[in-house]
Amino acid sequence: MYDHLVERFGPQQWWPAKTAFEVVVGAYLTQNTAWTSVERSIANLEARGVLSVEGLRAIPEDELRELIRPSGFMLRKAAALRAFVAFLDAHYGGDLDALRRHALGAAPEVRHSLLALPGVGPETADAILLYALGAPAMVVDEYLRRIVVRHRLLPEQRKYAEIQTLAQQAFARDRARAKPEELARHYNEFHALIVQIGKSNCRRVAVCEGCPLAWDLKNATRS
């Protein structure tokens, strides 16, 4: 499936952001939220000059809420973003690059500490690891879940970890041989392609061994 998608859409090499910190902010804001809404919030933060660790540390929380209002869930998300900055301050001297260095050496440990933060579940943790920190973390989103379930690769009774394991198995060769940054590039490309076809409206994007791939992902209920 990955090969078909690369042929059809790739390469993406992805996450629409100018800085690693902007990736983190986007990862929080896009939770169950359309990316166009996130863009508006990011623009607000940028215009206010607070799209940085220092900026979010200094701004009053009620102002932060107003800036991210377009993305919804503003009470939770404002508190969660502040908690991330506090986490960076407490353990990494407020330096996102220090967290990145730690993640490249001990990704599972960093993932565990990210999951302990409010507003960070498995997808957000893996998105931060992969797109902000460059660690080879497989990101499982709602679109990938639909692809897996509708192709009956796994039963409807899924768990994040099961789908993640399945998706990682598709890259077994790279996991065994490729360097971590190489594997991260594949995971990046893979998830970016998933989102690309998810956001687009096409019902069917490829045929893989006679099987139509990834149709009607816009339909959340049934396909």
Binding site for DNA (CB under 7 A): 15-16, 26-27, 30-37, 40, 69-70, 72-76, 117-125, 127, 131, 141-143, 157, 159-160, 195, 198-199, 217-221
Q: Which is nearer to DNA, 25 or 59 (CB)?
A: 25
CA–CA gap between residue 113 and residue 102 (Å, rounded): 12
Q: What distances in angstroms separate CA 204 from CA 14, 19, 188, 197, 223, one per listed residue?
A: 22, 33, 22, 9, 12
Q: How far is the CB of 87 from DNA (least distance, A)?
A: 13
Pick between residue 19 and residue 179 the one whose CB is nearest to DNA.
19
Minimal distance, residue 164 CB to DNA, in Å: 11
Phi, psi (deg, nearest 5) at residue 211: -110, 120
Nearest to DNA of 34, 106 (CB atom): 34
d(CA 43, CA 152): 40
Nearer to DNA, 47 or 179 (CB): 47
Q: What residues form DSSP beta bridges with 206?
A: 213
What tokens does 5 get? 């998608």
Q: How far is the CB of 222 from DNA (least distance, A)?
A: 8
- Beta carbon of residue 198, minimum distance to DNA (angstroms, whole number): 6
Q: Measured between alpha carbons, how far is 215 from 193 in angstroms, rounded to an integer?
A: 14
Spatial separation of the C-alpha atoms in residues 153 and 171, rounded to whole Å: 16
In the complex, minimum distance from the CB of residue 34 to DNA, in angstroms, rounded to a whole number: 4
Q: Which is nearer to DNA, 110 or 172 (CB)?
A: 110
